[in-house]
Structure 1
């Protein structure tokens, strides 16, 4: 893919009792362990809601549906690639007790509050993670009906 390509990605903000579900993975650019939201690229012919539910299931084993979205974020990555990320909100009614990541890149799953995230020895994969958490904490919730289905 050329560096001029705009990458469309989705990410999950999963929050239960003020704790956020983050995945621990290896940053492919730096080779270091990082914390990230469950996230990934939208596949060809895949709608946004299906994509985020698929990414969440692949990276955590959880089968949940989003209840809202936070808007669009943009990133010019260190490798020169440009990304647009759409953050979706998941608010499980109970703490899930079973996790089965299907993605071998996921090293561990962590439920962390913002103080624990700030004190973690693992850095966040990008500023987009902390931006999404901040938007969530500000009460931003856009209705899913604002996302038009594919035509």
Structure 2
């Protein structure tokens, strides 16, 4: 088998009570439910920020405003050394919630938890889940303009030949 890179996004959403938005989801590699940030793969023709907003809405019913890049993280699961996840993790503010919106397949529920409550469950999907919350609590953040994504369709010949 050859090495497979996966580009993913995750969103850290914090409320005014020091709780974070998580999802309880089915894991293909575990026989129990795990806890993760709203997260998923970037789809074709989608920017990283668009993917983060979409995944958060699809998995939690929350519409968010992405405010900062928290960091870029990599993870290679011990059970699959030929697969590496590149996680672009964003900070976002909650804007509105649609409680009637059906959640993505595999998502059991969205829930708000503190870091301590998450750690007590011992069900974080990967070490990145806890690390990203720790980084957010430490105040790590980068402006969104640190990311440049070349538009898919651009009529400028100068940019096409760059």
Comparing both chains, which one has the higher relative contact order based on Cα–Cα distances under 8 Å and sequence gaps of 6 or more?
Answer: 1
Unaligned 5+ runs, structure 2: 152-162
- Residue in 2 that maps onto 1:13: 12
Q: Distance in 2 between matches of 1:10 and 1:99?
A: 24
1:60-139 aligned within 5 A? 60-77=60-77, 78-80=79-81, 81-92=83-94, 96=97, 98=99, 100-120=101-121, 123-139=123-139
CA offsets 1:61-107 (integer angstroms, 9 cap, x no match): 1121200011110001122311100000012368x473634302110
Q: Distance in 2 between matches of 1:79 and 1:63?
A: 33
Aligned length: 148
CA offsets 1:5-55 (integer angstroms, 9 cap, x no match): 210000010111210011001111122111001100011221101111110
Q: Helix, strand or coil for the counterpart of 2:7?
A: strand
The structural deviation recorded for 1:148 is 1.1
Unaligned 5+ runs, structure 1: none
Q: What is the TM-score normalised by the length of structure 2?
A: 0.84
Q: What is the TM-score normalised by the length of structure 1?
A: 0.89
